[in-house]
Amino acid sequence: MAKKEQQSTPVIQNRKANHLYFVDETFEVGIMLIGSEVKSIRDGKCTIGEAWVDVDEKKDEIWLIGARIDEYLFANRFNHFPARKRKLLAHKHEIQKMRKAKELKGCTIVPLKLYFKNRRAKLEIGICRGKDQRDKRQDIINREAKLEMDRAAKAHR
């Protein structure tokens, strides 16, 4: 009998990213962590709202900068530094796409979700363009219109 696939439920989400950016393309990458960091993420003690992804052009590597994974309480002397840079694992062609996108004006790479898939920590990152103030207002108007339509449909039933 085939082994059951574990569901990839998001542990940490960057809800701020969808408000501030248009997401053009997404990638699923691995993240290099140490044991106490994994346990902290499973406890939900992580923030990726202020984080971004940097592309190192010399070594063809990508790094997660600005993410904060709090110290694990029971790790005592084997604990980690909460705000360190973390290396991301991606295919070479994906790194090339990210490098080209980073060179474009107005594009940035931000983390969107951090979750576990088959017992491994995965990070969904997106190539994003910044939104103007009018775009943000338009999103709010569209969301309110959708809510109003849903309420009207529910009352009609």
Q: Domain locations in the chain?
A: 10-131
Q: What is the pLDDT of residues 127-137, one digit of tens each?
A: 998 887 777 88
* Predicted pLDDT at 1: 46
The chain-wide mean pLDDT, for the chain, equals 85
DSSP 134: H
Residue 106: pLDDT over 80: no
Sequence letter at residue 149: M
Output the DSSP codes for 39-105.
HHHHTT-EE-TT-EEEEETTTTEEEEES-EEPPPGGGGGG---TT--EEEE--HHHHHHHHHHHHST
Q: Please state which CATH class domain 10-131 belongs to.
A: mainly beta
The Cα–Cα gap between 139 and 76 comes to: 46
**Mean pLDDT score, 99-112:** 87
Query: 70 and 82 in contact (C-beta within 8 Å)?
Result: yes
Place of tokens 């060179």: 103
The total number of residues shown for the chain amounts to 157
